[in-house]
Chains A and B, each alone.
Chain A
Amino acid sequence: MSTIVSLPDQSTAALPKRNYINNEHGLLSWLLTGDHKRIGMLYLLSITAFFFLGGAFAGLVRLELLTPAGDLLAADTYNKMFTMHGIVMIFLFLVPSVPATLGNFFIPIMIGAKDLAFPRINLLSWYLYMAGGVFTLSALVLGGVDTGWTFTTPLSTHYLNTHVVTTGLAIFIAGFSSIFTGLNFIVTIHRMRAPGMTWFRMPLFVWSNYAASILMVLGTPVLAIAVVLVALERTVGIGVFDPARGGDPLLFQHLFWFYSHPAVYIMILPGMGVISEVIATFSRKRPFGYTAVAFSSVAIAVFGFFVWEHHMFIMGVSNYSALVFSLLTMLVAVPSAIKIFNWSATLYKGSITFETPMLYAFGFIGLFTIGGLTGVFLGSLGMDIHLTETYFIVAHFHFVMVGGMLMAFLAGVHFWWPKMTGRMYPESISKLAAVTTFIGFILTFFPQFILGYLGMPRRYHAYPADYQVLNVLSTAGATVLGVGYLLPIIYLAWSLKYGEIAGSNPWQATGLEWQLQSPPLTENFTEIPYVDHEAYDFEWLAHKQKQEVTTVG
């Protein structure tokens, strides 16, 4: 273990007198704020709430699957539960998670800007997000929706008497929140970088959010029009997807997956950015192959638009196009692998320390690698036909999105918590939470690979008794996982009042954000910095600390 990191810096006994939190008071000053940091905190709060709501649905689904008979929930209630779990988790948690919270908070600071380019649009996107959330909840209260999160036509347009239109509206609105966030990021990164902050001096977190923003801006409108057409088909009865009138349900799938496959990268790319920051900081090395990691984000974004059809291999697309999309799907593995290899190479001979964010980052690498490799199975035509619509799929995307994205989100929250709040959280219990989450996750989702391989279909509330042992394991794992998620809520809330004062740079990290006081001032920088070094210049940091240059505030 290295001795470079000294935790935490307690040279100052109190939080800075003036910061973005206490600069203004009252609820209204938060609800009408234009400050990207405050909006990031609003998002953090609301996203966490929706995460636990989505988690509660997951809990019910797992409880139902504890026994082979469908005895806890009726079939249609079960359908509503997994549908709400999917919708809430994807549209209200995974898509906005890192960009809207950590991205909002740190992207302007990392590039030396005082705010995002459009603060009012930024606030508007939070309100749109909340409106989307309220509509989703109202659909639930009115009786729920049971199409699955994919709204597959004609099931969604003709055969189900549930609240598809309300939920569709919710997704449409939440989609605009996502579009505006992406748009804001792109404009900010292009136009608001501080002098000297060239593209290849930017932190990798900014690069990966930039790539995700491109996907948000180009993909989300296509989902929006697909949802509008579903709503029109349900309400007034136009027939774009209705086979009875010559419409094509596959067209819906094309439009839906044109967004929803890239959406996976909207979810995972910002998480990859977090991991790059955490790995670099806690191995005290410049990320190996910085440029390759930066470009691999953009490559994932670009390839991400050419793979949607692999969701439709078994739905009657031509063999030729299935073959092409199978190949294209595997291409995405290349930039993803570049990231994994480069993180490993960064760790090699690094001065590694195992702080909590690093534990989560290791969890990310392990779980995402498994999730990614099983993605290659599913991209292969023959395997896909055997495994699709089974629990293998469920395990695969939970490994990528929960094992990947959620681990990254938690890594990021723990990494930047001292900067956001000015306080440290208790170290031993946070490490315990990270380990609990990892164990719980493996226990929950690994059995599902086997279940899927054995042939247990997804979306059924009852199953043959042969599958029970693995299902019990999975449900037990979900309980452990739940504990792993609840712990951070408790100790992070505790730390707000009782946590040790963090000081400006508790991790001895190099990013611009760590040169500011914790929590930062409302205006970030009293004077716009001139940037003359790359984001990961540890020598520059050591030199700076030797000179004891005082930081802002």
Chain B
Amino acid sequence: MDNAIAATHHGDLHDEHEHVHLPQHRHHFETEEQQREAASFGMWLFLLTEIMFFGGLFMAYLLYRNWYNPAFVAASHTLSIKLGAINTGILITSGFFMAMAVWAAETRQREKLVAFLGLTNVAGIAFLVVKYFEYAEKWHDSHVPGLRFSIADFAHLGVDMAQKTQIYYSLYFAMTGMHALHMIIGIVLIFWYMVRANRGEFTEGYVAPIENFGLYWHFVDIVWIFLFPLLYLIDLGAK
């Protein structure tokens, strides 16, 4: 897609260390190192935009938690800490597999790379399955604002405050839903990377996509590492 690559490539541009170019080297970059650095920098910037994106939701959580503390305490007690903890474990494991996948790419071990990407994906899918059961439970309990909601479980708070639990669940679904959406995107990408890794694309020294995807996957993990205590654990000791 980069036009005139052939026309622009003069060996004399790389006079110092003339070496064989990887097919993935794009010729508007002077060196492969520059390309790798640019890709990594771009990924960090993208993650910065993701932080700002989730930041809006965290801002809303902070505000409403402050205002409607009793509703938030009561509603957070209805979440299953067990399922949340299992999912945290699953996600940390997937993060470990992802890190191993990056290692495998960097040490040029094709089969291990494919295997670790596969394991990462299995963990990712397992996370979503658990999430599905959690959502189903919320549906069953009529805790889904807008679609199926009843304040019956929170009557002891008084009608006014009980209504405010809707805000908690709205944020719960918005935040975990946005997180799950990021997981789904990641899982689709992993399948694509597995196909390419199987062709040996990332084990010849061109590791930037795997490294950068690793950053993405860890970012998604970290978002959950914030969500789990904020949504599930924070009111553990509260009445």
**Residue positions of A touching B, CB distance < 8 A:** 23-24, 29, 32-35, 113-121, 123, 179, 183-184, 186-188, 190-192, 217-222, 224-226, 228-229, 232-233, 236-240, 245-248, 251, 254-255, 522-523, 526-528
B11 to chain A, nearest CB (A): 12
Cα–Cα distance between A172 and B231 once the two chains are bound (Å): 27
Q: Which residues of A lie under 8 Å from residue B27 when comparing CB positions?
A: 114
Cα–Cα distance between A128 and B38 once the two chains are bound (Å): 22
Query: Which segment of B55-63, B80-88, B102-110, B195-203 sits at the interface?
Result: B55-63
Q: Which residues of A lie under 8 Å from residue B71 when comparing CB positions?
A: 246
B75 to chain A, nearest CB (A): 12
Kindly report which residue of chain B lies nearest to residue A36, judged by CB atoms. B28
Q: Is residue B132 within 8 Å, beta carbon to beta carbon, of the partner chain?
A: no
Q: A113-B28, A183-B42, A239-B146 are in contact. Are A246 and B68 (CB under 8 A)?
A: yes
Q: A34-B2, A34-B3, A248-B63 are in contact. Are A237 and B146 (CB under 8 A)?
A: yes
Asked whether, in the complex, the Cβ of A115 is within 8 Å of the Cβ of B49, the reply is: no
Q: Is residue B170 within 8 Å, beta carbon to beta carbon, of the partner chain?
A: yes
Q: Which residues of A lie under 8 Å from residue B57 when comparing CB positions?
A: 225
Kindly report which residue of chain B lies nearest to residue A115, judged by CB atoms. B28
Q: Which residues of B lie under 8 Å from residue A246 when comparing CB positions?
A: 64, 67-68, 71, 163-164, 166-167
**Residue positions of B touching A, CB distance < 8 A:** 1-4, 7-8, 10, 13, 26-30, 34, 37-39, 41-42, 45-46, 48-50, 52-57, 59-60, 63-64, 67-68, 71, 145-147, 163-164, 166-167, 169-171, 173-174, 178
Q: A236-B147, A239-B170 are in contact. Are A527 and B60 (CB under 8 A)?
A: no
List 10 additional contacts besides A34-B2, A192-B38, A254-B59; criterion CB under 8 Å.
Answer: A23-B4, A118-B38, A186-B45, A187-B41, A190-B41, A222-B55, A238-B174, A240-B171, A246-B167, A251-B59
Which of B38, B166, B173 sits near A117, CB closer than 8 Å?
Answer: B38
Asked whether, in the complex, the Cβ of A251 is within 8 Å of the Cβ of B63, the reply is: yes
A355 to chain B, nearest CB (A): 33
Q: Which residues of B lie under 8 Å from residue A526 when comparing CB positions?
A: 8, 10
Asked whether, in the complex, the Cβ of B166 is within 8 Å of the Cβ of A245, the reply is: yes
Q: What are 23 pairs between A and B in contact, CB < 8 Å?
A: A32-B1, A34-B3, A116-B28, A117-B38, A117-B39, A118-B39, A119-B26, A186-B41, A186-B45, A218-B49, A221-B49, A221-B50, A224-B53, A225-B55, A237-B145, A238-B145, A238-B169, A239-B167, A245-B163, A254-B59, A522-B3, A523-B3, A526-B8
Q: Which residues of B lie under 8 Å from residue A229 when comparing CB positions?
A: 56, 60, 174
Q: Which residues of A lie under 8 Å from residue B53 when comparing CB positions?
A: 221-222, 224-225
Q: Which residues of B lie under 8 Å from residue A237 when comparing CB positions?
A: 145-147
Asked whether, in the complex, the Cβ of B3 is within 8 Å of the Cβ of A120, the reply is: no
Asked whether, in the complex, the Cβ of B48 is within 8 Å of the Cβ of A218, the reply is: yes
Cα–Cα distance between A226 and B55 once the two chains are bound (Å): 11
Q: Which residues of B lie under 8 Å from residue A238 when comparing CB positions?
A: 145-146, 166, 169-170, 173-174
Q: For the complex of A and B, list the 7 residue pairs with the smallest distance between their C-beta atoms, beginning with the closest.
A: A237-B146, A238-B170, A225-B56, A115-B28, A221-B53, A114-B28, A523-B8
A131 to chain B, nearest CB (A): 18
Kindly report which residue of chain B lies nearest to residue A244, judged by CB atoms. B163
Asked whether, in the complex, the Cβ of B49 is within 8 Å of the Cβ of A179, the reply is: yes
Which of A32, A187, A523, A527 sits near B7, CB closer than 8 Å?
Answer: A523
Kindly report which residue of chain A lies nearest to residue B2, judged by CB atoms. A34
Q: A187-B38, A232-B174 are in contact. Are A245 and B3 (CB under 8 A)?
A: no
